Amino acid sequence: MRRLAVLALLAAGCAWPAEFVQAVEFPYDHHPRALWERELVWLKNIGIRTVAFSPGRNTPPKDPRADLSGFLRILRRLGMRAWIYGVAPELAATLEPQLERHGGPIAFLEGPSGLEAPAPPAPVTRLSATASDSLFRSREAFAGGPGSLLWQDVEDTLAPSLQRGVVSFSGDERPGATALRRNAALLHYWSAILPAMLTERKLPGKIAAVQRFASGPRGASAVAISNKSTAELTGPLRVYDPSVARELIIPKITVPAGQSLWLPVNIPLANGGLCEDCAAFAQGDRIV
């Protein structure tokens, strides 16, 4: 269904990047080799499909963490993608067969390398998962339309001493992992829709909210609300439904302190991407 939606937009002359990319930085050469697959499976299970890393050149050859080919094999077996940066020129020939166009896991390349691969969609937002405002900043990133969000400081690393992330070597999740989990679940369905939502409109009322639209009356739309205060926000919300060209009033919206909401306004179900199997929905069926 996603492919049909993209083809329809291209036929109409609309440029739409394939998806908004959300990735997690995974510095494999600073992480215990025995834990690679466990942590990658955890990332995949919460909805992360892309991991970013630098192949590097400074790890001693006898260090098991220097097993770049082994790390790439795990990614390929799990059906995950790689986003690489800081590639040493002498590694270009080794990495060429690992590019996605050759059936390998390397989907994105950042910076000069001697390899030909697409760059991650711009702009790229780098965000520490340990930051206290990571939820707000991550929502601002993907509410901005096309681009990429790269989470850093997710896993504990040894670089060379212990650097704490939001997931420990024992697999325990620290408080900062919640924002990552929430956004991974949200973007599982929205990543293909976000790049087309290029128009922004601030909504009136005491609740600060922004509504984003794709072009056309049947285009997707959503409202982003963030409450950065220490008190709960409650009040009406006035949104615009492009499918009927009129304003809708939601009598009461409650946003807890320190929370962020992402609300669909006009999402076609037949090709909107928000369901695993959309065959049961007619073209006119939508979320309002």
User: Same structural domain for residues 124 and 255?
Assistant: no
Least confident of 6-10, 34-38, 123-127, 215-219: 6-10
Assign 150 a pLDDT band (cuts: 50, 70, 90).
very high
CB 236, CB 253: distance < 8 Å: yes
Report which DSSP code applies to 204: P
- pTM (predicted TM-score): 0.85
Looking at residue 227, its amino acid is: N
- Summarised one tens digit per residue, pLDDT across range 162-186 is 999 999 999 999 999 999 999 999 8
CB 243, CB 273: distance < 8 Å: no
Do the domain assignments include residue 4? Answer: no
User: Same structural domain for residues 178 and 88?
Assistant: yes
User: Same structural domain for residues 99 and 161?
Assistant: yes
CB 57, CB 30: distance < 8 Å: no
Count the neighbouring beta carbons within 10 Å of the beta carbon of residue 161: 6
Examine the fold and report which residue of 165, 190, 215 is the final residue of a domain before the chain moves on: 190
Q: What is the largest CA-CA distance in the chain?
A: 66
> What's the mean pLDDT in 207-223?
85
Assign 42 a pLDDT band (cuts: 50, 70, 90).
very high
User: Same structural domain for residues 74 and 154?
Assistant: yes
| Cα–Cα distance measured from residue 44 to residue 34, given in angstroms and rounded to the nearest whole number | 17
Examine the fold and report which residue of 190, 209, 228 is the final residue of a domain before the chain moves on: 190
Is 60 exceeded by the pLDDT of residue 114?
yes
Do the domain assignments include residue 131? Answer: yes
The DSSP bridge pattern shows strands 233-241 and 221-226 to be unpaired
- Expressed as residue numbers, the domain containing 72 is 12-190
User: Same structural domain for residues 39 and 143?
Assistant: yes
CB 109, CB 118: distance < 8 Å: yes
| Cα–Cα distance measured from residue 48 to residue 81, given in angstroms and rounded to the nearest whole number | 10
DSSP β-bridge partners for residue 95: none
Number of domains the chain contains:
2
Looking at residue 144, its amino acid is: G
Is-cis flag, bond preceding 123, omega within 30?
yes
Do the domain assignments include residue 270? Answer: yes
Examine the fold and report which residue of 132, 160, 190 is the final residue of a domain before the chain moves on: 190
User: Same structural domain for residues 132 and 215?
Assistant: no
